[in-house]
Structures are given as C-alpha cells and as structure tokens.
Structure 1
C-alpha cells in the first residue's frame, strides 16, 4: 500500500502541464492551459488544465481529474501502473512500498517481451524467413535493429512462456497473443514474420505479422486489448516523438514496412497508422510534438481515400499538410526497394501542399470528359473549399482554383462562381464559450482556488447571502485544510464546469487582499439588502400603524448604511 503522503508528493513533483502536453497541444490561456479534448471529438477546445490546482477538466464531456487519472485514461492502465510511471518521472522510489506480485500491465508487457525474444531466436533458425526479409532489402543489421522475429508453424512459444509466468491459456487469448484451434491453443502469428508494436513508453503491447507467401490476410495485427488500441497507437511513434520537435515534421504512412523504409532512408519521424486512416486520438498525439505532417499512403484508389479521410481530420485540427506520392510505384517501400538510398528523401522534397493532391484525387475519382463528371468533380472540390475557408486556409483555396482551372481547362472565375453558388446553409458554426460577468460568488471562489493564504478569511464571511447557487454549493463542499483538487474531483459535473469557468473568466487581481476586501464589502451590502427585502415583506403584512412606522424607520436606517458605504 502506497501511503497517501507519497502519492501527494508524486503529484506535487510531477508537472501536470508537462505530462498532458505530451498527448495534446496545450495553449496558455490566463492562468490555465487549453486544448482540444483527447477524450471526445471536438473542433473548438474545451479541455482545460489548471497547474495551480494540478487538475484538468473538459467542459464538453465532463472528463476531469488529476495527473494520475489522466495517465490512466490515456494509456488504459490501472492506478498503480500510472502511479509507478509518474513516480519514476518524479525520481521517487516506490520499491519500499511495493507488495509482492506484479500488476496486470506489468505481466502483459513482460509476456510480450519474453515471447518476442523467443520469436527473434526462431528467426535466426529460419532460412526462409531471413531470405524473405533480405529479398525486401533488409540487412542483418536492419533485421536486428527493427526487432524482427518469426513464428514457426504450429508454434506454442507463447503458451510455453505463459506457463513459466503462471498465465492461463484463457488469459493468453484475452491478451491477443494466442488463439484456440479446436481443443488446443496456438500462437496467433504462426508462419508469419512479426515486428513488435510498442506503446508511447516503448513497451511491446502487440505484434504486426506478415505472411511469407501470398496467404490472406498478408498483414495481420494483434487484436485490440486493454493495453493495445489501433486508434491510440502509431507504429514507431515511441521513437519518432523523441526527435519530432528537432526535425519539425512527421511522415505518416499506411503500413509498417513503409515506415521502416523511411527509417532506413534516414527519416527518423516516419510512423505508420494501424487502422484505415489517422484517428483523432493519433492526431492529438502528433499535435503535441509537431503540427507539420507529410502524408504518404499507397498509390492506389484505397490509398487516395485514406489520404482524403486523414486530410479531412488534420485540417479540422489546423495542421500544415503536404502530400507525397510514391509514383510510379505502389507504396514507399516498393519505391525504396527499386530505387534505393535517397529515393524517399527525394520524394519528400517533391511533396506538394494538400490542395494540389485534392485536384489530383478529383482526376482519379471523376470523369473529366463528361459534363456530369466535371460537375461531380467541382462539387467534390467545393466541399473542400468550404472546409478550407472555415479553417482559414485561404491561400490554399487560391492555389486549388488555379490548379483546377489548369486541369479542367475552365477559367478561374467560372470555377469560383461555381464554388460561390448554392452556398450551403448547413455548415456548422462553432461558437466559443461566451464570457460571463462574474459576481461576488465567482470572485470569492476564484480567490479561494488560487490563494491558499486567503481561504480561512473567506470561509469566515457570511457566504449564505451569495445569490449564485453554485457558489453556495461550492463553499459548502470545501474547507481551508483539505486537498482541494481531491474535493473538486468529487463535485458533480455542473459544479466542476462552474469552477473552471470561474478560473477562466476572472483575470488575476493586482491586489488579492484588496479584491477580497471589496468582495467582503459587497457581501455586507448584500446582507443589508436582504434584510431590507425582509422588512418590505413585513410591512405588507402589518396592520398596526406603530409597527409600520418602526419597520419603516429600520428600513431607512439600513438604506443610510448602504449610502454611507
């Protein structure tokens, strides 16, 4: 059992902004940081990180918590596993508090690691597997560097490894490393070359397999598990992120052999998607390191469609996008095999901005030689022009119009007229959160959240007179000596939203003490005004003239007090 004091020390030492910025692109806004939420799809940022309170909150989906919970949610790991990672980051040794036994995540990655080592040894024994890799241009050094392995026919290697770790066959199936055939368990990737797929921490969490012949499917990934999600993991990202800020861009490819080809040609920031196209989760991950990408998918209709889908999402997140095409070859790997060292670097140098690719894609998918085809082509481009204008890619629109004009042999003004005609009125309008005028309830809550030395004084005030129901509820739930972030974590969503709106809507006061004094004075006036309202109600009900005169006298006295203030 890890003592509470140690957990708090870890949270205190770890910079929550630094951790979260490894997953999303944070922008400073006042005393907080803002980003697109990694937990739900959105185009206007509603995810906030408050470094003072060491918590995050999303106004859209309600996700909130501390740095431990964030890591749990992003990596799909347990509290203990997240704590161990953060402890290492903070330089705190948890071995003194660790009980016997291994976490499930630790067991999972050890299983994959030990199984992979056995697969590597099997590759050394298989002439057929090594010859296949060499036929694709991989040297002995490359084979070792990229961690290739081989799974023989009827292999039970993972079962043997699992037995030594007291892992049941049923757990193996759940972990995606084995499957059941009839009444026996076998390795999922038998008769395939495998390459390790690692998470952002560099741990093996899955395998990618390639058949030696033309068996279908040629390529096979591990199934989704608790610790492996195709949407969340990019092949080779664990290494690419280390140099992305220095290099300045990512290259996004369609398969692992394509990404490996780029690596062999000296491009260290090449990664591969593990699904049909880039996911929102992957895009957010990229944005934390660079918003410059070069898309290089397969040179066929399916590859073009994947490029278009990825491009659509990248523009929503305002990336700078170039597109490289491995023409006349099928994919980057084939280009590298055929033309050798330097060929992929040369292709990247010839990359063009995405709007030129859109025109090329239109030529592929539509018949330029028929009036109906031309109209469909222009309608396709029009949809993209609307997206581009909405996100401010105005220069790119100009380039697209010129390129489309040259492609279709239609004057630019006619193409522009087509784009301007029949304007869609269904475009989404994303309004930003409106700023609200704050009252004394918000002001006092802001001071309480940001100035620990003022909390005692605030709680001594007459907070029952606050008009804002959320403010009253806030002060009922907090105290001056408890862990504030933990208290907020237990708030209902509506109250959490109110807290973070308060943090964002009020600028830091130049003199917090004076700000508190002003708010305290307002509360006293509020109390007097409430008393006056009570007297007014009493006046309506009394029938005795003497009592009415007395109440009116009390009211006048209270009004004078307000005036003197």
Structure 2
C-alpha cells in the first residue's frame, strides 16, 4: 500500500529536522545550528550538525545528510514507508493511502483467508480427535485462540458448502493455494490436519500450515505453496504475535517449527519466531533487524539442527545481528524442552553463547581418542567458523572475530585472515546473491517531479547511460532519484517494467543534453544546501576558504 503524495508532502512540510532529531539526540546550540555526536559512526568530537532553518542535517565525519524522514529511516533502520507513517503520527497528520490494483487484489484475498480461517476454527471445535491431539501436546485453550488454530475436516463437501454460503469462488481458493481440483470438484490440500494460520507482520493471514494428526498421513507438515500474497522467504511464523515483545526486548529466539514456537510462547518466551521449516533467508533477517539487535538460535538438538543453526547464524551476522547459540541436550527440540518449564528454558537461553565462541570452545573440548577422527572434527568446526565470519560484511567486526579465533586456536592473525579470505572468494557469488533480497517496502515509492521523470525515462531507454557518466552520486544529489536508480540497478525486471509503464503514461521526451542539464541543476541545488550549512558553522576567517571551495567543487567521477 502506497502513501499518498499529499501525506508525504505534509510530513516534509511539518516535520522540522531539529524537532525530530532532538527526540533522539542531545543537541547543543552553536550559532544558528545545533551539533551532536554522530549516531551513525563512532566519534569523540561532534561533527553532526542540524540546521532548523534549512531543515537538514549533515555529519561532516561520515557524510550522511538529509531531512527528517531520512534521519528516522537511518536511525531506526526502518523503511521509507514506516518513517513517513511514524512522523505523520508524531504530528497528528492523517495518513492517506493509494491502493494499486495489486493491493486491491491482495485485500480481497486477505478477506478470503480470513473466512477460511474462521471455517477451520469452527471445525476444530467440532473435532474431538483434533482437540484430544492438542490436549495431549499440552496446548491450552487460550493458546489455541491466540494463534487461531483450526482443523480441516476430511469431508471436502463441508468446505464446498461453506464457500457457497460465503460466496467464495473456487478460483479464489486456487489463488490462495488451498485446493486441488478433482473429478468431483476439489479437495482441500489440508484435509484431516491441524491448521496453523500464517500471518504477516500486519496480521493479514497469508497462508496455512497443516500438521498430520497421526503417523500414517505424510508428510507430517504441509505448507501452502507460494502465492501472490505468500512468499515464504519473506515470512516468519509468529512474527505478528511476537512483534511487541521483539521491540521490547530487542532480541529474538528463532526456532524451526510451529509447535516449537507455540510451546515456548505458551510458557512465557514470547519474543520468538519460527522459520516455517525452511532454510533461514536474507529477507527474514532483514525483517527482524528492524526490531532486534540480537538473535538466539534455538533449533533441534540433532546434527541437522546444529548445521541449520550455523547457516542461520551466517546470514544473521551478515546483517549485523549478534547471534547466540542455545545449546541443549535435555530434549530433542524446543517443544519437548518447554515441557520442563519456563525456568529451564530461560536457563538455556541465558547460558547461550556467541556462536563463534561456542564453536571455538568446541574446538578446545574435542576428546576423541582416534586421532584421525579428532583432526577431522577439528577441521569441520574450524571450517564452520571461517564460513560464518566470511559472511560478515563489516570489516571491523570481522577483524574482531579473527582476533578471537587467533587467540583460541593459537594461529597467527594473518593465517586466520587468509583462511577467511579464501572462503570469501569461494562464496562471493553466494554472498552477492544474498545482497539482492526482495524488499516488500519497495512498492512504497516517493513522488517524482517532472525533471526526475525525464531523467529516469532517459536512463530506462539508454541502459548504458549510468555506466557512461557514472551517476551513482545522483543518490546524494536527489534522494528520490537515488531510490529509483537503486531499484533499476537491482536488475528486477518486474520493477523495471512497472516503472517504465508508469513513465510511458506521460508524454515525456528526453535528450541526453536535457538530462545532463537537469542533473547539473540538482547538483548545484545540493551544493547550495550543503555549503549554506557549512558556512553556518564556520568562523569568518574560514569563510574565504569555503567560498573558494564552492567555486572549484567538481562532480565525483
């Protein structure tokens, strides 16, 4: 859902950068501006400047600059959409939305999934076998209600009757991936199963998970296929129910399955999400890092669970999220462990360790009598460590871990660093692919001026333009153009097609000369803003130097 341009304009008009930033930082007046220690990099002398009159901020240390929306985005690590909404709420500005055709379709499908969920919930009340199953698993009625658990009856005619009463079409059931067509009509894919509605972060029901109630029915767990409203790589089970607890603790416990999550939630571990039984993804890490700084990985205690934990840690650390590993032998999974009570589970979570430290301690504790096995196990764990560290993009954090590994293993820093660089080279393609994860909020597009439309249309019609003129600094000169250029550079064909279609709706003609002039205008406007902020912080004796710099400033090549 896109925010209306009128709302964005009103937020930009009302949200003064000083008023907003003073909620986050202690600002000290210095002439006509305010200064503070920059929150975006480490420093001892304030280089972060806020100009209320120009309504911009800039750090002269790391170079970040922008308006109130940009600050909130960067400080809270939230999307453009969320930053606009947050500021609108602060200033009591009504938020108006624009529904695209896709969003209208989604709303219709959300209504369908809600009705199907109610059908499942009612059938759970009628199913003694399902109620007995939940009772035997220790699931309480309040938990059933909170997670809206249900039951899909074996008799598909009951669903057929229900959709007729509710005027739901078979085509709609196909769109949400619920049914399989048969000679007699259709069959619910989840028939005879306990149902777990899967919700997005806003509470919309986007898919279903089904659990067999006996050992005969296979597979044990069945999930909805991907649909227009459900992309499993972007989703975490329980994210909606756990959201406020994640924000409060800034920490998450990550488990693998539905019952693991529900059992932990029920005993009081409520900052918990589940991976839906699939490999953890970059998109899921991006979803979490908006709300948390630390993750505790609590997977099954078998070897498969340990390996999955390592892969998950690799992705989390690549996003700058601290990772602790909850190691336990007392049960096969968190669901079983929860039966030992809250205090036991909290004890295991509290004693969980940074995953690199945990693996290094395993290195030191290998006690195999067979020297070949001992060496093999040592090398396996060491390889796990190097691969995790290889995925860390922050050089300072990566070097800190290298120092720790060198200390624990007795290897020279340079040797450990070399081992990790080899892994980084081998996994470069994999890491690059992870960078280009889909962002659900990229549908929230800032408004384009006519000049910006001309530039974008020319870029789309002339793919070599950006490489020819190296205009990546447009991101600095125009936040809006930078936003769209990053979308174009992502290589997402659907995004490019949608943007091209939007621009072609307007009768816009472009030439390279016109585009270059527009970009020069943007650059000059940006320089004026930045230098006016520079001058407001300088003494008279430095004025001449800065003035001369303005005259000689050239675009970066």
TM-score over 0.5 for the alignment?
yes
1:222 equivalent to 2:246? Answer no
Q: Is the 1:208–1:220 Cα contact (8 Å) retained in structure 2? A: yes
* Deviation, structure 1 residue 198: 0.9
* Alpha-carbon spacing, 1:363–1:280, altered in 2? closer, same or farther (3 Å): farther
Cα deviation for residue 237 of structure 1 reads 1.4
1:314 corresponds, among 290, 294, 316, to 316
Deviation at 1:509, TM superposition (A): 3.3
- Which residue in the other structure is 2:535 paired with? 511
Query: CA distance change for structure 1 residues 341 and 7 in 2, over 3 Å: closer, same or farther?
Result: closer
| 1:464-520 superposed Cα distances (whole Å, 9 cap, x missing partner) | xxxx9789x98xxx9xxxxx76677677969999989x9799787333798999479
Distance 1:93 1:398 in 2: 49
Query: Structure 1 residues 206 and 172 mapped into 2: Cα distance closer, same or farther (>3 Å)?
Result: same
SS of equivalent to 1:509: helix
Which of 508, 522, 526 does residue 551 from structure 2 map onto? 522
**3-state SS, counterpart of residue 376 of structure 1:** helix
Equivalent of residue 426 in structure 1, options 395, 408, 422: 422
Uncovered stretches (5+) of structure 1, i.e. residues with no partner: 19-25, 35-44, 59-65, 72-81, 404-411, 431-448, 450-467, 479-483, 527-565
TM-aligned CA deviation for residue 93 of structure 1: 7.0
Q: Distance in 1 between matches of 2:374 and 2:102?
A: 66
Tell me the CA shift for residue 282 of structure 1: 1.2
Distance in 2, matches of 1:238 and 1:301, equals 30
Instruction: Report the number of matched residues.
Output: 428
Give the Cα separation in 2 of the matches to 1:88 and 1:164: 44
| Unmatched runs of 5 consecutive residues or more in structure 2 | 21-37, 42-47, 49-55, 429-447, 449-467, 490-515, 538-542
What is aligned with 2:272? 270
Instruction: Summarize deviations over 1:18-53 as a string: whole Å, max 9, x none.
Output: 9xxxxxxx974777899xxxxxxxxxx99x995468
Aligned partner of 2:375 in structure 1 is 375
TM-score by length of 1: 0.60
Q: For residue 153 of structure 1, what is the aligned residue in structure 2?
A: 154
Q: CA deviation at 1:170?
A: 2.7
**Aligned-partner Cα distance in 2 for 1:368–1:33:** 58
**Alpha-carbon shift at residue 151 of structure 1 (Å):** 0.6
Deviations 1:312-354 (A, max 9, x none): 22222333222113423110111223x2343322222232331
Could you tell me how far 1:91 is from its partner in structure 2?
5.3
Q: Distance in 2 between matches of 1:99 and 1:418?
A: 54
Q: Which residue of 2 aligns with 1:171?
A: 172
Cα distance in 2 for partners of 1:515, 1:116 equals 70
Contact 2:198–2:207 (CA under 8 A) maintained in structure 1? yes
CA distance in 1, matches of 2:149, 2:238: 14
Q: Secondary structure at the match of 2:232?
A: coil
- 1:114 offset after TM fit, Å? 1.3
Q: Does 1:354 align with 2:355?
A: yes
Corresponding residue SS for 2:156: coil
Distance 1:380-1:195 versus aligned 2 partners, 3 A rule: same
Q: Displacement, 1:14?
A: 10
Cα shift at 1:178: 2.2
Q: Tell me the residue number matched to 1:335.
A: 337
The CA deviation at 1:291 is 1.8
Matched, 1:235 2:231: no
- 2:116 paired with 1:115: yes
User: Does the Cα contact within 8 Å between 1:359 and 1:400 map onto a contact in 2?
Assistant: yes
Question: Residue 441 of structure 1 aligns with which residue?
Answer: none
Answer yes or no: is the 8 Å Cα contact 1:159–1:187 preserved in 2.
no
CA-CA distance at 1:135 after TM superposition: 0.2
TM alignment of 1:438-477, pairs within 5 A? none
Q: Using a 3 Å threshold, how does the CA distance of structure 1 residues 332 and 369 change in structure 2: closer, same or farther?
A: same
What do you get for the CA RMSD once the two structures are aligned? 5.4
* Higher mean displacement: 418-427 or 298-307: 418-427
**Distance in 2 separating the partners of 1:117 and 1:14:** 43
> In structure 2, how many angstroms separate the alpha carbons of the residues matched to 1:102 and 1:330?
42
Kept after mapping to 2: 8 A contact 1:362/1:380: no
In 2, Cα distance between the equivalents of 1:341 and 1:383?
35
Query: Retained in 2: the 8 A contact 1:322–1:354?
Result: yes
Contact 1:254 1:277 survives alignment (8 Å): no
Superimposed CA distance per residue, residues 292-323 of structure 1 (whole angstroms, 9 cap, x where no aligned partner): 11110001121111111011222223332221
Partner of 2:499: none
Are 1:181 and 2:210 matched, yes or no? no
Verify: 1:133 aligned to 2:123, yes or no: no
SS where residue 106 of structure 2 aligns? helix
CA distance in 1, matches of 2:308, 2:212: 23
Q: Which residue is 2:297 aligned to?
A: 295
Match of 1:244 in 2: 246
